[in-house]
Amino acid sequence: MTAARHAVPASTAATLVMGILNVTPDSFSDGGRFAGTDAAIAHAHRMVANGADMVDVGGESTRPGAQRVEPAEELQRVLPVVRALAQDGIKVSIDTMRASTAEACVVAGATLVNDVSGGLADRDMGAVVAATNVNYIAMHWRAHSTTMDAQDRYEDVLREVRDEIAARVESLVAAGVSADRIIVDPGLGFSKVSDTNWPLLARLNEWSGGHRVLIGASRKRFLGTVIARPGIDAADPARRDHATTAVTALAAQAGAWAVRVHDARASSDAVRVVSAWQNAFDATR
């Protein structure tokens, strides 16, 4: 955690900022910009300087329609970056659906595994997380990127996401993962194209089961749907940064454990404003 973050008053448990580091050629927003090891490491340091509390390193795009990469290719992309950042004292999360990649990166210094499949893509994930005793983010997930949009079928999105996350948590605990190590993520944009995302943001406590919550809304297309208007190219992910910052502020107010974002500075500023506001409210009531 940077010095600036320590300035947040201790009376408020501030939402953490997770910076997104895509070491990929094809991620939806910044694919290719940080595909090289040196560029990735430099960008991670910039995010931390701008307020990120941790950096989430991923070597496989999960954008809609993305094809999977081979395990060796994924590991080759992320392992040198994870190792270097951990050695530099940066808190690192590994964004992977593969148990073998997670295990290698934890050995290299990652302290958190961010699995968008919640353990469904690799049945060995629970055992690896249990053995390494790291924190684990279980995201709501129904299908791989090539077919996930077709799974946006809900009669009651709050109830179904709640039940499907609860089933994943139960399975992980049965595999030996400590329940207090599990963080849950509603999987915004994953099998949720547009309107089905908003109830999950509006009612965090109704699906989270008392677990810590990660919100990953950054630059996603459902934000573009809301902000689209004449003169605004909402199809450009970079034009969705202001909307992302609004989500960060609302998620922080709702008590989210962390937000996963591309623009660490804007979200860090938003979290600090929410903390100052809440502290003033608590002091004067």
Is position 168 annotated as part of the catalytic site?
A: no
Q: What is the chain's pLDDT, residue by residue, as a tens digit (285 residues)?
A: 333 333 333 334 699 999 999 998 755 555 566 668 999 999 999 999 999 999 999 999 887 777 889 999 999 999 999 999 999 999 999 999 999 999 999 999 999 999 999 999 999 999 999 999 999 999 999 988 889 999 999 999 999 999 999 999 999 999 999 999 999 999 999 999 999 999 999 999 999 999 999 999 999 999 999 999 888 878 888 899 999 999 999 999 999 999 999 999 999 999 999 999 999 999 998
Q: Which H/E stretch holds residue 44?
A: helix 37-49
Side-chain half-sphere exposure of 53, counting CA atoms within 13 A? 19
Please work out, in degrees rounded to the nearest 5, the angle formed at the alpha carbon of residue 167 by the alpha carbons of 162 and 169. Answer: 95
Q: Dihedral (C-alpha) 81, 86, 89, 90: value to the nearest 10 degrees?
A: 60
- Which one is catalytic: 77, 168, 220, 240? 220
pLDDT at 35: 63
Among 112, 121, 197, smallest CA distance to 161 is for 197
Active site residue 260: yes
Please state, in angstroms and rounded to a whole number, the distance separating the CA atoms of residues 282 and 285: 6
Answer left, alpha or beta for residue 89, where phi above 0 means left and psi between -120 and 50 means alpha.
left
Distances (CA, A) of 274 to 52, 53, 183, 248, 281: 16, 17, 22, 10, 10
Strands (E), 63-147: 92-95, 112-115, 135-139
Helix/strand number for the chain, H first, E second: 10, 8
Distance (Å, whole) CA 207 – CA 210:
8
* Terminal Cα-to-Cα distance of the chain (whole angstroms): 30
Cβ burial, residue 240 (10 Å; 0-12/13-18/19+)? buried
Distance, in Å, from the CA atom of 98 to the CA atom of 84, rounded to the nearest integer, reads 21
- 83, 162, 260, 272: the catalytic one is 260
Measuring CA to CA, how many Å separate 55 from each of 142, 155, 187, 222? 25, 35, 18, 24
Phi and psi at residue 230, to the nearest 5°: -55, 130
